[in-house]
Structures are given as C-alpha cells and as structure tokens.
Amino acid sequence: MAGLKLNLMPIGAASLMLTACATTTALPEGVSSEAMAIHQRLLTLDTHLDTPALLDQARGYDITKRHSVDRDGSQVDLPRMNDGGLDGGFWAIYMPQGPLDAKNYARIRDIALYRATSIHKMVAANPDTFEIAFSAADAERIFKSGKKIVFLSMENSYELGDDITLIDTFYALGVRMIGPVHNGNNQLADSANMQGQSAKWNGLSPMGKGFVKRANELGMVLDGSHSADTTLEQMIDLSATPLIMSHHGMDALNDHPRNISDALAKKLVAKGGVIQMNTLFLKTLPPASAERTAALREVNTKYPEDRAFMTEEKYQAYLDEVEAVNKQYPAPQADFEDYMKQILYAIKLIGVDHVGLGGADWDGGGGLTGYRDISYMPKVTARLLKEGYTEADLAKLWGGNVLRVVKAAEDYAASQKK
C-alpha cells in the first residue's frame, strides 16, 4: 500500500484512504482536505534529492522508517514521502570538488560508484516500494503502479576525471541527469561559486564541450545548477536538448551567484528549459547569533569524534544537545512566504511550462521556516490553488515539465542512432 495515490484506487477505496490519512496524519497548515486530494492525484517529482549521502554513511539510514528533521536533520524518508505526496525524483550522486589530479580523480570516482550502488541497494531491498526509472515512460508506469520513482542524477562531474568515457558508465548505472560542476571550478567548467578563484575556462573547457555533446548523444538531461553564468550560456547554446536547473532561484528577488537573471532564464526557456525552485538563496540572512555559535562549539567540543562511529547511546545524547541548541537559538532561515514569492515571480516571468516545484535541495541544506521537510510539500499546491492556478497547471509544475525534458533528451538520443 505504501505510496499508492488516490487516483489509482476505486472511489470507495480512495475515500477510505483519505479518511484514514486524515485521522492519522494532520494536514499541513493551510492545506484543506480538497487541496490535499488534488496534490495526491498529481505525479510529483523532485529533481535534486541529496538523500543518497545518508544511505552510504557508516551509521546507516533506513529509508523506510520515519525520521525527524528536528532530531537528526534528515528531510526525506518513505513515511514522509507518503505524507507529502512525493512520488520520487532524481536521487543525486553528489561529490565535493577536490584537486584536479589523477590520484583524486580515482578516489572520487570510486566513492561516486559506491554511492550509485547505495541507491540501487535501496531499491533492491524494497522492490515493492521503489523502482529505478530509466525513461519518462518508466516514471509514468512506476507512478501508476503505486511505487516510488528513482531516477539517478549526478551533481558535479569531477569524478569523470580526464576520462570522458566514464559518462557512459554512469549512464549504464541509470544516471539520466548530469551537471558539470559544483562549488569550485573543475576540469569541465567554471562554477557559480569559484571559491575565491578566478575563472578557469570562461565557461566550458574543451572537455566540458565534449561532455555536453556526449550527454546529448546518450539522452542525459543537462543540469545547469551550480554553473557559472558563462558556463550556463554555453551549455544552452551547445546542447541539442533543453536544460534543467535542478535546484535554483531567481536573481530578481535576491542577487546571488546561485540564482539566475531574468535574461538568462528567458534564454533557457526559449530552448525548452525548466527551472526547479530552490529553498536556498531566497534572501540575505543575518549571521547566526553569537550564542548559537558558542553553544554549538561547546557541543562539538564535548563530542569530538566522528558521529558515524559513536555508540548509539552517545549519538542519541549528542542529538539531544544539538536539538536543545536549535530550540533555544534557532538558525537564521528564510520562510515559506519568501519561497512562494520566488515561485510566483518565476511563474509570472517564464510561465507554468518552464517552472518546477520540486528542487528544494532536501537533505542538502534546503528547508525553511514553515517548510521544513517533504511532508510540507502540499502547502505549495494549496497556495497555488488559492492563487488561481489549476490542477492542470500543477500537474506541469510538479512533474510534467520535468518529464517533458527527460523525453526530449531521450528522443534526441534515439534520433542519432537512426
């Protein structure tokens, strides 16, 4: 039963399920039962889930058990996917940027391959709940089956090293969305966050241009998030298929390197691209209070060892103390209204065909006051319904636009084989 959507059951069964949900799980603030029913009918995808980093940690992470953002900071698990009506998405193979040399290329390649394996192990351990998607048609079929959709994506392609053919290896493992860079310039491209460096390539490197070409040939969607504006412009120009900004925001409301200008957004969508709305970089936040900084320093001094190797008793004691600090001295955060301003601005600028609602950067630093994990997602649906958007609009925003871009990438790759 896990993950079944209301439109897949007879009316009587759907009514019973809705009643059961209403008695066991409170609706998010501002979400009516009618709005929740609409939300549960939609195919909802998130284009950037950082949860795989939890799957292969030494402590382990049971995706089927309910966790708590207040307790351990996590934002995605199966119970909360069901609460929030999230049908799946792109589970990211994220690797941090490192030195550009053969030793580190090999090291990070192996870690990336292990993380891809962790995603496959999650699915293999729960075959009635999750299924790998290799195509847009797979995603539609998996949704209709009531299981959760697991696309693989790659955030930062540093792990390719100097061997462009490794992109084929990751494609074979199921990667269907790929971005060239993260924080820091690498062998493929310049980053939006150059970490104090000057531009290395003024956009894409020669290898980066080959990377775009090979991604197109394979049918991978190119992800422009984290790319410098010069990199993004060149990717748009060179790519034969539309790009996705998997977790991004709008410069007009907060001028930040990780947000996109109106002009560049319009260039992106002129070629069919989609911007998935991030919960980060919405506004300039004040620094954490001195009290919070001092309290967290004290906790970390008391527990200096690696959290992954603490005894369970000690780990729970550590979480107790961190939770107490968070309650007494909350971290500065933007709020749900700040997020809705970004979403509404983007929709009015580029239209419902080019905006996506699943790109909050869950388990990667995302989340807001009033929008803390995936269980809160129906709040966006409810708010957009109040703004006058229709269920058909929401179907595009929550998953239809993403699958259109995935299908375009597939179709181009197929056309090259004829």
**Are 174 and 245 found together in one domain?**
yes
Residue 170 lies in a domain: yes
Q: Quick check: is 291 in a domain?
A: no
Parallel/antiparallel/unpaired status of strands 221-223 and 243-250? parallel
170 three-class SS:
helix
User: Are residue 171 and residue 315 in the same domain, yes or no?
Assistant: no
Distance of alpha carbon 397 from its chain centroid, rounded? 15
Among residues 306, 362, 293, 315, which one has the least CA distance to residue 72? 315
Quick one: pLDDT at residue 58? 82
Residues 319 and 393 both lie in one domain? no
Measured CA to CA, the distance from residue 354 to residue 333 in angstroms comes to 27
Distance (Å, rounded) from C-alpha 39 to C-alpha 393?
12
Which helix or strand (DSSP H or E) is residue 297 part of? helix 290-302
What pLDDT does residue 59 have? 83
Give pLDDT, residue 277.
98
User: Each residue's pLDDT tens digit in the chain (418 positions)?
Assistant: 333 333 333 333 333 333 334 334 689 999 999 999 999 999 999 999 999 999 988 888 999 999 999 999 999 999 999 999 999 999 999 999 999 999 999 999 999 999 999 999 999 999 999 999 999 999 999 999 999 999 999 999 999 999 999 999 999 999 999 999 999 999 999 999 998 889 999 999 999 999 999 999 999 999 999 999 999 999 999 999 999 999 999 999 999 999 999 999 999 999 999 999 999 999 999 999 999 999 999 999 999 988 878 888 999 999 999 999 999 999 999 999 999 999 999 999 999 999 999 999 999 999 999 999 999 999 999 999 999 999 999 999 999 999 999 999 999 999 998 7
Give the DSSP letter string of 33-46: HHHHHHHHHS---E
Could you tell me if residue 85 is inside a domain? yes
Rounded Cα gap, residues 75 and 37, in angstroms: 22
**Helix, strand, coil proportions of the chain in percent (round to 5)?**
50, 15, 40
| 53 and 186 part of one domain | yes
pLDDT at 21: 40
Looking at the structure, tell me whether residues 247 and 155 fall in a common domain: yes
Cα distance between residue 139 and residue 170, in whole Å: 19
213 is a domain residue: yes
- Clarify whether residues 301 and 222 are in a common domain: no
The reply to whether 157 falls in a domain is: yes
Same domain, 56 and 135: yes
* Residue 180 and residue 300 in one domain: no
If asked whether residues 258 and 314 sit together in one domain, one would say no
Domain assignment present for residue 75? The answer is yes
Looking at residue 316, its pLDDT comes to: 92
- Claim to verify: residue 17 and residue 46 sit in the same structural domain: yes
Structure tokens of 19?
A: 């009643």
100 belongs to a structural domain: yes
Q: Do 320 and 270 fall within a single domain?
A: no
| Count of structural domains within the chain | 2
Q: Which domain holds residue 386?
A: 6-285+333-416
> The domain spanning residue 43 has which CATH number?
3.20.20.140
Asked, for residue 153, whether it belongs to a domain, the answer is: yes
349 plus 374 within the same structural domain: yes
The DSSP bridge partners found for residue 155 are 94
262: helix, coil or strand? helix
Question: Residue 25: its pLDDT value, please?
Answer: 63
